[in-house]
Each structure stands twice: as C-alpha cells, then as structure tokens.
Structure 1
Amino acid sequence: MSVYLVLFVFLGIASTVYGDCPRPTGKEHMQLITDVTFPAPDGTQVTFTCEPGYMAKGSGTVTCSNGQWSILRRICEIRNCGSYGEVDNGHVDYSEGTEFGATIRAVCNDGYTPVPKDSTAYCGVNGWEDRIAVCDPILCYAPNEIANGYFSPVNPSYHYGEVVQYTCNGKYVLNGSATLTCTNEVFTPEPPNCVLVNCNAPKVNNGAIVSGSRPPYTYQSSVTFGCNTGYKINGSSTVSCTINSEWSQIPNCTEIQCNAPKIPNLEVDGKAKDIYKFYGNCVAEVHRGI
C-alpha cells in the first residue's frame, strides 16, 4: 500500500473519531429540540429547552467541537406562580403550595360565601390559570310568617348573623324559639307556633289545692296541693300548666301507715298487727319477767 493511501485512511478515521459528536444528553426536565442527525459533524449546534412547567436559566445551546459538546449551562427549575393576590373578606388557601401543578381556592370569612362555589385556580405553564371565587355576603330572605303572631324587624333581606324576634298576639303563647338567626342563607331554627294554653282544674285524690293561681289556668299558672289528714304527699306538691295545656306531673296523696311498735319489756295487749293506720293505737302492758 502506498504512503498516500495509508495517510488518507488515517485522516478519515481521525475525522470520524475526533470531528463528529454523538447525541448529547441534557439535564433533568429538559428536551432536545433539533433536526440534526447524529453523530453530528464538528461545529454543529443544538439547543435544549425545558419541559412545560419549568423555567429556563442559562443558555441551552451546545456546540460540537473535536468530537465533544460544549458545557450545557442551562438548568430547568419548576415554575413557581407566587402569590395569587388578595381576596376581600377571605383568604387564599395555599395548602398545595404555589409551584407548577398546585391548586388554590378562596376561603371566605364567617358571613361570606364563595361565588361561584368550589372554583379553583391552577398553576400552569403561564402562571395562575382560571379564577378563584370571590367572597360575597351571605343573605337570608325573610322567614315564614306565623298564625296569630308576627316577627320583627321586617326587611327585604338579612345579613349573616342578623336576628328576628317572634311575638304572639293577645293571649297566644309562643311554642318554640322566639328568636331566629340568619345562618347559611336560611333562618334557624324553625319558626315557632302561637298557641292558646288552657289547663283543666287539677285534682288529687285525698287532697286539695291549698294555694296558687285561680282559674282559668293559662301557661305557667301554678297551684300547690295539700293532703287530707292521715295522708302524705308523694311527689312535688306544686305543679304548673305547661305549653301543651297539661299539668306537670301531679302528685299522689298516700295513706300514712306505721309499722308495729317494738318496745323492750312491753307487749301488745290483744292481737298484734304488722301495719297500723294513722291514728290507730295499741295498749302496751309491762311484761314482767319471773
């Protein structure tokens, strides 16, 4: 083989080994954007870009020189969307953070509600995408009217926490809560009723009313019972007329009874009993020992 042929082959091998560059490898979260066929010839330039959701810092272009790529200066950092901004009458829930892929929502103060409900914003490739809710005041419409009564104040609408007071006409009595509060767009609890309360005269066997209200017996009228001689009260002696036109639990008058007496050195004259009624008696005589 001639000297010229050997030199030509050697130069060709050197050109392949030292001039062409293999496909370059990028860093984390990078993509190679190129239409170059590899291995690439000396002097070729290619560029790395960051994946969606990541921000580029530094140059992403590298150059093939003597079979090697220049140092890649670019780094890709995850996008941070930062603060969304203020929410009137509430605050932003950043529990998922502010980086790419995080979701935020509005949390409203007491008395306010998110509009539209359950709306969120998403940290995307271009920053915060969509809009979170605004916090509007919670309002209640007027509560229901009631028969034989009314409520006040009367307004077209009421703010969260506002209270209305119910009142009954004349002799009618409120059965239920007198006050209702505007909560989550409705008044709670349920409106009361206005009822007429009239209890019948109470009676107790072997007893009688000794003090208290006179008829007619209306709501919260009260009377006190006493028992006849020889009887004792069993239960509370005072009862009241309830909202249901019924008396609270009426007591009983039970007969007073005594157990047989036990006296040392005495015995009952006659046939002894186990139980004696009130005012019953027995005559005892001395039992003398022999």
Structure 2
Amino acid sequence: MQSLHYIKQFISLKTEQLCPSPPPVTQALLATPIGPSPPGSCVTFYCVPGFKIVGPRTITCKNDLSWSEMPCCVPNECGDPPTVADATFTPEPPYSSGDMVTYSCTNVDTHELEGPATITCQANERWSASPTCVLRECGDPPTVVAATFTPAPPYTPTETVTYTCIAKHTLEGPATVTCQADGRWTAGPVCITTCCPPPSIPLGTFSPIKDSYLPSDQVTYKCCNGITMTGSFTTNTCGSDGTWSVTRASLPSCEPTVCPPPPSILHGFIFEVDRKLTYAINELIHYNCNYGPKPGKAESNTCGPDGLWTDVFADICDE
C-alpha cells in the first residue's frame, strides 16, 4: 500500500511539470496535435487559407510551465483594386480575402463593360482579373441601294452618317442615320429611281412640271397658242430605269400655222382693223404711235414663220 502511494505521488509530480495543451488560435491549425508538454517543447501553427499569421508561428513551453507569446490569424488583405479606365468601383477599402468590388462604366451611353463586372480579393492577396470599359461602337450603317454615305468608320453612339443618292435617284426617308447607345442604327432611307425633267419641244411645253419624276409618272405635251402639234406621241412616261419612254427623235413637234395676238406698245395702239385672236404666217399688222415712231422704227409687226412676232418687244414709239 505504501509503494502505491509513492507511485501516485510521482505521477502527480510529473503532471505538474507539464505545460497544458496549447490554447486554440482562431482560424489556425497545429502542425501536429499535442497535449500537455514538458518545458522546451515547441508547437507550430498554420493559418487556414485566406488568413495570415501575426506573431511567432512557433511557441515554446517555458520552464514556468506556460507557453511563449501566442500568434493570431488575421484575414489576408488586398490593396486597391486595379484601375479601369472610364470606370468606377464600389465599395471603398479596406479589402480582406473574399471581399468583392463591382465596376461600372462612367458613361454607359458610350461605353460598355467587357469582362467580369465583379472581382474578388483572393487568398494570395491579389485581385482576380479585372474588366475593361470599351467604347461602344456601331457596325457598318444600313446598306442603301444606289446611295453613298459619309463619314467612314468607326462609329460611336450619337455619331451620324449622311446618305446621298446617285444620279437618277431620289432620297425617300431621313438622309441621316444615328448610331444609338445599343449599337444599332436608326432607320435608313431608300433611293428611288427617278427621271430628270423630260425633253422639251420647240414652241411647246409639257405638264405637270416638277424637279423629278417617279417611275410611271407621265407628262403631256402641247403646243403654244395657235400652233399645230404633229407626231405620234403626245405623252411621255418615266421608266423604271430612269429614262423617258419617248426619246428626242420621237418627240412631237409644233408646226406654227398662226401667231397669237401681237405685243402691245407703249404710247400707241394697234389699229382696230388689225385686232383679232390669230394671225396668219407672214401677216402684217400696223401700230399707231401717239407721238410718232422712234428713229429707225416702223409702226408695224409681222407674224413670223415660227409663229412668233418679229418684234417681240415692240418698243417703237416716242414718249
């Protein structure tokens, strides 16, 4: 019984000369799990991923049966996120492992984000790959048949392109289209085939008179007063190719047979006997000047072979 008492006393002495198990460190692991340890024993800590150790990694059981200074594990930290041109990010620092920041372009009307909008502070204290803000662009403007446009690419939002139709075509719709924020163009115009004004005929005219004519538009010819029209065609039609159906060789002609009433004069009058609606070719009429004719002027006028009076502006009388 006495020997058993000495054994228990020896075991008690041995236990009292050991350091207790090392206290736990938050977010840390022991290199080797260890229980109560004698003076001089060492224990090494490792932080879990995303944390770094502050203080001594290894602690020692001192002679007073206490452990040396304990370390602690603090989250890894990243510096400022990468600078992205034309972009801002949130939130503000500091940033620990696992924290995220989100980028947005400063002008969403002209720029768009390319790449991940959100990046992460990694366990190695580096940021994941950052995005870029690229200038938003439109592709080529809408194709308009029979038209050209300016300026040349590239095209960014709010930029415009102006179309011009080639010859024998008329623009229908907006001449200018705009590159929009979504990278699409506004609706473009069309160029419609047109005819220039039709060929004219001497001593005649046509109607209607317009700057340009659409395919299937038709004009009608007629001669001036008292002139007879000859020829098979009195109308002309604008074709789908921008040409007129009747060419110059086939146009009608106006053959004068009479003249209209002669021009009136200042400071004089036409003899009543000469007043009528039409006059025969080569017919002569007489004026009477109140104060006599101007030197070298005759008080007469003649209906010419072209159906016009020989003196179109009969300024013949003295004042």
TM range (shorter): 0.5 to 0.7
Q: Could you list the per-position Cα deviations for residues 198-244 of structure 1 after superposition, in whole angstroms to 9, with x for gaps in the alignment?
A: xxxxxxxxxxxxxxxx96799xxxxxxxxxxxxxxxxxxxxxxxxxx
TM-score, normalization by structure 2: 0.50
C-alpha distance in 1, partners of 2:161/2:92? 38
SS at match of 1:172: strand
Q: Could you list the per-position Cα deviations for residues 1-45 of structure 1 after superposition, in whole angstroms to 9, with x for gaps in the alignment?
A: 66x8755542332212x1234432323222222254x23333322
Q: Could you list the per-position Cα deviations for residues 112-131 of structure 1 after superposition, in whole angstroms to 9, with x for gaps in the alignment?
A: 3334x336532111122432
Partner of 2:41: 44
Q: Could you list the per-position Cα deviations for residues 135-161 of structure 1 after superposition, in whole angstroms to 9, with x for gaps in the alignment?
A: 3333333212213444322x1422343
Structure 1 residue 101, shift from structure 2 partner: 0.9
Q: Could you list the per-position Cα deviations for residues 53-107 of structure 1 after superposition, in whole angstroms to 9, with x for gaps in the alignment?
A: 1222222433334785425432222222120232223234447972211233543
Query: Does structure 2 conserve the Cα–Cα contact (< 8 Å) formed by 1:93 and 1:106?
Result: yes
Q: Structure 2 vs 1, CA of residues 44 and 101 (structure 1 numbering), >3 Å: closer, same or farther?
A: same
Q: Does 1:10 align with 2:38?
A: no
C-alpha distance in 2, partners of 1:23/1:190? 79
Q: Which runs of 5+ in 1 are unaligned?
A: 198-213, 219-290
SS at match of 2:82: coil
Partner of 1:233: none
How many residues of Structure 1 are paired with residues of Structure 2 in the alignment? 197
Once the two structures are superposed, the pairs formed by residues 97-136 of structure 1 within 5 Å of their partners are: 98-110=95-107, 111-115=110-114, 117-118=115-116, 120-136=118-134
Query: Does structure 2 conserve the Cα–Cα contact (< 8 Å) formed by 1:158 and 1:182?
Result: no
SS at match of 2:80: coil
C-alpha distance in 2, partners of 1:126/1:28? 19
Q: Which runs of 5+ in 2 are unaligned?
A: 195-206, 212-319
Query: Does structure 2 conserve the Cα–Cα contact (< 8 Å) formed by 1:54 and 1:79?
Result: yes
SS at match of 2:98: coil
Partner of 1:175: 173
| Identity percentage of aligned residues | 23
Partner of 1:261: none
Q: Does 1:88 align with 2:85?
A: yes
C-alpha distance in 2, partners of 1:182/1:21? 75
Query: Does structure 2 conserve the Cα–Cα contact (< 8 Å) formed by 1:49 and 1:56?
Result: yes
Query: Does structure 1 conserve the Cα–Cα contact (< 8 Å) formed by 2:138 and 2:185?
Result: no
Query: Does structure 2 conserve the Cα–Cα contact (< 8 Å) formed by 1:62 and 1:70?
Result: yes
Once the two structures are superposed, the pairs formed by residues 15-34 of structure 1 within 5 Å of their partners are: 15-16=14-15, 18-34=16-32
C-alpha distance in 1, partners of 2:175/2:184? 12
Partner of 2:301: none
TM-score, normalization by structure 1: 0.54
SS at match of 1:12: helix
Q: Could you list the per-position Cα deviations for residues 148-203 of structure 1 after superposition, in whole angstroms to 9, with x for gaps in the alignment?
A: 444322x142234322123456673432573322534x342232334589xxxxxx
Partner of 1:152: 150
Could you tell me which amino acid in structure 1 is paired with residue 186 of structure 2? P
Q: Does 1:61 align with 2:58?
A: yes
- Could you say which structure has the higher strand fraction? 1
Partner of 1:254: none
Query: Does structure 1 conserve the Cα–Cα contact (< 8 Å) formed by 2:43 and 2:58?
Result: yes
C-alpha distance in 1, partners of 2:184/2:11? 92
C-alpha distance in 1, partners of 2:172/2:51? 67
Q: Structure 2 vs 1, CA of residues 162 and 176 (structure 1 numbering), >3 Å: closer, same or farther?
A: closer
Partner of 1:272: none
Once the two structures are superposed, the pairs formed by residues 196-215 of structure 1 within 5 Å of their partners are: none
Match 2:159 to one of 159, 162, 187: 162
Query: Does structure 1 conserve the Cα–Cα contact (< 8 Å) formed by 2:80 and 2:93?
Result: no
Query: Does structure 2 conserve the Cα–Cα contact (< 8 Å) formed by 1:24 and 1:69?
Result: no
Match 1:139 to one of 129, 137, 140: 137
Q: Structure 2 vs 1, CA of residues 67 and 14 (structure 1 numbering), >3 Å: closer, same or farther?
A: farther
Partner of 1:191: 188
Could you tell me which amino acid in structure 2 is paired with residue 30 of structure 1? A
Q: Does 1:78 align with 2:75?
A: yes
